[in-house]
Amino acid sequence: MENHQLITKKNTLISTFFDEKIIEDQSSDIPHLSIQPASASYYPYILYCCISSLCHDDGAINSIVVSGNLVLTGSSTTRIHAWQSLDCHTKGYIKTTSSDVRAMVAHGDLLFTSHKDHKVMMWNMKNSRGDFEPRKVTSLPIDITGHFKNYPFRKHAIALQHKDTIFCMAFNHVEGLLYTGSFDRTIKVWKLNDKKCVDSILAHRGNINDMVINQQNGYLFTCSSDETVKMWLRAYGETSHTLINFLNYNTSPVYALALSVSPSHRSILYFGSSDGCINFWAEENSFQCNHGGFLEGHQLGYYA
């Protein structure tokens, strides 16, 4: 029997833990809680508490993704664990053929996982009985006998497989394209219908640490240890991608990206770097982004 532990803690707000005093703000018609620290400075009233911890014995957790009512975690072993997000009990695990699950991305019933062998596995999590019994659909690349394949009308061959760790992925579910970013400094684009690599881009001068895609317009953002954030777009009707913008407003390696899209189609891109600073950019028309400023407060590097 697997030695899974579930530690659930229902915490209460204890003001003395932070040497703070919780007071009621009388300046509004609707009362709300705010926090007045012992110092003279004033902070918002929000406090966050740990409500549960999900633990297993399969080593360090390298990746995590939320899919519907499931939380999935990838570790340094060959197992991907699934947890029910509502009551936090274990649902089971996926036994893979390769260890070190570094990146995961999910959409609907589909789950994509990257592994130590520099490949991506695609899973179907749909089950009519409600049990967690994912079915492996395929591995990318599917041609394991060779590393290159020629495509018509291309001057050069496309390298099918990454040469180093796949550290991040993004899925354009509108176009059915999976993007993988690696420490080999390349981005590879996979067309799921054909299960083929349709484009390979030498995107950065350093490790590609994270990527995010805007599902409304197809813009792909990537960040790297080379201190840059780049913006890419697929040429209309083609498989090749073009660099359309270069966001460079920092002097530290960039490790994490987050994209906020509003109903008005105006999006804001946040990226955190090793100096603890978070930049944010507002996406405008005609492939342009305007720098909005910085979010400061972290004293150490920002990695997720």
213-253 pLDDT, tens digit each: 999 889 999 999 999 999 999 987 788 999 999 988 778 99
Residue position matching structure tokens 């009985």:
129
Q: Is residue 249 part of a domain?
A: no
Name every residue whose Cβ is closer than 8 Å to that of residue 169 and which is 6 or more positions away in sequence. 103, 104, 105, 112, 114, 120, 178, 179, 180, 181, 211
Instruction: Transcribe 1-48 into DSSP letters.
Output: ----EEEE------GGGGTEEEEE-TTSSS--EEEEESSS--B-S---
What confidence score (pLDDT) does residue 158 get? 62
Mean pLDDT, residues 35-49 = 54
Is position 16 within any domain? yes
Number of structural domains (the chain) is 1
- Kindly state whether residue 37 falls inside one of the protein's structural domains: yes
pLDDT band at 44 (very low <50, low <70, confident <90, very high): low
Inside any domain, residue 183: no
The token pair at 89 is 């009990």
Per-residue DSSP letter, 249: -
Residue 70 lies in a domain: no
Residue 229 lies in a domain: no
Question: In this prediction, what percent of the chain has a pLDDT beyond 90?
Answer: 46
Residue 203 lies in a domain: no
**259 in Cβ contact with 268 (< 8 Å):** yes
Q: Which structure tokens are listed for 233?
A: 């777009």
Q: What pLDDT sits at residue 140? A: 94
Domain membership of residue 25 (yes or no) is yes
Handedness of CA 167, 172, 173, 176 (dihedral sign): negative
State the number of CA atoms in the 13 A half-sphere of 49 facing the CB. 11
Of 21, 88, 70, residue with least CA distance to 80: 70
148 falls in which pLDDT band (50, 70, 90)?
very low
CA distances from 73 to 65, 204, 252, 276 (A): 7, 28, 29, 26
Q: Output the 3-class SS for 65-123.
A: EEECCEEEEEECCCEEEEEECCCCCEEEEEECCCCCCCCEEEECCEEEEECCCCCEEEE
Instruction: Give the separation between CA 180 and CA 166, rounded to whole angstroms.
Output: 7
β-bridge partners, 260? 268
CA distance 174 to 191: 12
pLDDT, the chain, mean: 80
Better-predicted residue by pLDDT, 145 or 25: 145
**Is the pLDDT score of 33 beyond 60?**
no
Residue matched to tokens 């394209």: 177
Position 39 pLDDT exceeds 70: no
Least confident of 18-22, 121-125, 209-213: 18-22
Full domain range(s) for residue 33: 1-54
The predicted model scores a pTM of 0.78
pLDDT at 46 over 80: no
CB 143 within 8 A of CB 149: yes
User: Which of the 8 DSSP states describes residue 152?
Assistant: T
Instruction: Kindly tell me if the per-residue pLDDT of 20 is higher than 50.
Output: no
Q: List, for residues 68-115, the tens digit of each pLDDT value.
A: 889 999 988 889 999 988 788 889 899 998 888 999 999 999 999 999
Q: What is the pLDDT of residues 190-201, one digit of tens each?
A: 999 999 999 999
Query: Given this model, what pLDDT does residue 257 score?
Result: 96
Averaged pLDDT for residues 149-157 = 45
